[in-house]
Amino acid sequence: MKYTSANNLTRHELIGLKARVINASNSNHNKIKGVIVNETRNILTILKNNEEKKVAKSKASFIFNLDGTLVEVEGRILIGRPEDRVKKKPKRDW
């Protein structure tokens, strides 16, 4: 079984993870913090106070909480259909 870690987060299922929006082009989105309840190609839906907030991946960065480990990811890296993103092979750093 593969576990979500800081190294494989961008190729892993995001639904169910705790997330916080940072550096969003819409400053109102910077206050969004909660659990990811849905993901599409371009949007993350975060449940905050029983209200679903939709944030464009390309317009923000996110901090994910992986059991106490905080991982910051630029939203543009997450763009793509979730089912395709999880199949991607990691790029090699040469």
Cα 70 from chain centroid (whole Å): 12
pLDDT at 87: 72
Question: 10 Å Cβ neighbour count for 50?
Answer: 6
CATH number at 9-85: 2.30.30.210
Placement of tokens 């750093």 in the chain: 93
Inter-residue contact 94 to 17 (CB < 8 Å): no
pLDDT at 36: 97
pLDDT by residue for the chain (94 residues), tens only, comes to 356 667 778 888 899 999 999 999 999 999 899 999 999 999 999 999 999 999 999 999 999 998 888 999 999 999 988 888 767 665 554 4
pLDDT at 3: 61
